Amino acid sequence: MSGGYEHIETRQIHDVLIQKIISNHLIFAAKCNCSCVEKANSSIACGVSYGVGLKSILSYLGNYMLIPNERLSELSGSLFKSPLSEGTLQNWQVEISNKLTAYHEDMEDVLLKQALLHIGESGLKVNKLNLWLYVISNEHLTYYASHRRRSKEALSDIYSS
């Protein structure tokens, strides 16, 4: 090398920053001469609310990684310094489920029109109750449903609901 430096490689470090962010929202009210109080509208619920970042991470860990709510509650407190009740996590599940209703119906319609489907079933215990878990899929979509019976009638019930 004749008197200079030559770039020979590039190295990277990938890391994650875990940081709790608290945003305060101040609500103002005005009082007129007749003593009427007019309060500003707010889309933020009273008290403490949780942001989409925390909801997304914990919902992903619960739904995809199958971490139970009890452990998610502990994890949230220790990792994010935001202790949550199992009830709050369950409420988020209901909220997500309600938002997925249209997607669920669309997926059902698409799968029903397929010429070729994979349908599988497996036994499942839920609160000491024996159920059957049905998996209905094609190469792009997978639909899960449970039923008390293992039969053609169960599939008819699943598709008609």
Query: How many distinct structural domains can be found in the chain?
Result: 2
Q: How many CB atoms lie within 10 A of CB 45?
A: 8
Nearest Cα neighbor of 134 from 150, 120, 148, 123 is 120
Do residues 119 and 90 share a domain? Answer: no
161 secondary structure, DSSP code: -
33 lies in some domain:
no
Residues in the chain predicted with pLDDT less than 50, given as ranges, are none
DSSP string, 134-153: EEEE-SS-EEEEEESS-SHH
pLDDT of residue 26: 87
Residues in the chain: 161
95: domain range? 49-99
pLDDT of residue 151: 82
5 lies in some domain:
no
pLDDT of residue 95: 93
pLDDT of residue 161: 63
pTM, full prediction? 0.67
119 lies in some domain:
yes
pLDDT of residue 42: 80
CATH of the domain at 120: 3.30.160
Rg of the chain in Å (alpha carbons): 25
